[in-house]
Amino acid sequence: MKYPFMIADVFTEERFTGNPLAIVFEADGMPDETMLKLAREFNLSETIFVHKPQSVRHLAAVRIFTPRGELPFAGHPTIGASVALGLRHKTSAVRLDEKVGTIVSVMTPTGKKSGHARFGLPQLPQRVGNAPDKDLIATHLGLMPHQIGYGGMEPGVYSVSVPFLIVPVQDASVLKELKVQRRGWAEMFNEGVNGVFIYCPTQSEADNDYAARCFVDMNGLGEDPATGSAVSCLIGHLADNHKFGEGQTDFVVRQGKEMGRPSYIEAQVKLENGKMVHAGLGGHVVINAQGELDLLG
């Protein structure tokens, strides 16, 4: 079989920055084993496979694979596929069936091979566990314990179907100092935590509100240039610590700068009577390549 595919950079307006994504179209009938092998072949943080939807009201069903296995939800594949499908089908409304549920994206073209998408999270972020001891976290990040936390903010484990350890640190200089010890992370968790997201506020930076680094897969801890599912968890962490007022709040997280792949993840949250009623993500996408996979023997 032959399958069209695209390579896109997500959460960026500039080529060869952001988080790269492989998008494989017309993947109906492709075995799970083949999707996993292709994810390993592309060797990107995620590859998304586009299938026909079950409902005629939806544009596509999608499945998301890392080189290690399938995810029920991930932010940068959802944003990337929304732009690619919106451009392909010339539509601004993109309804996707993901393992986590139906996601509705709004896509705006910014060029023939670029666009912007935003969507509401299929589940609101929530705290799902306690963080390990701060001294232990500091040791594994190559930091001193006093560098973790700011203004009463402390680490916690949050999830939007994919759990992350959220670790606040003092400032952006601490992010540069990180020397992650890759051994021992998995042994600290029982909740199936997918990665560690280290962040700080950036009052002195004009184009964003927070800076972050993220290390995914507790068994390998490779750094990710832009992690929408982790920023989704950050929304819950900030909401629990009363960082949002009534109504809608928009903020931007920069990630990947230390890797040479700066990314800008847009986040949105809405509170009514002190309760979160909406959370969402958005970002820009640039399509860099397209071609055809030939899987005939």
Q: How far apart are CA 286 and CA 290, in angstroms?
A: 12
* Residue 254 per-residue DSSP state: E
Q: How far apart are CA 140 and CA 111, in angstroms?
A: 43
Q: Nearest-CA neighbor of 140 among 102, 88, 193?
A: 193
Q: Nearest-CA neighbor of 76 among 227, 185, 200?
A: 227
Task: Respond yes or no: is residue 46 known to be catalytic.
Answer: yes
From the list 46, 98, 223, 266, the catalytic residue is 46
**139: which 2 tokens?**
């040791």
**b or e along 59-91 (b: 16 or more beta carbons within 10 Å of the residue's beta carbon)?**
bbbbbbbbbeeebbbbbbbbbbbbbbbbbbeee
Q: Which residues are catalytic?
A: 46
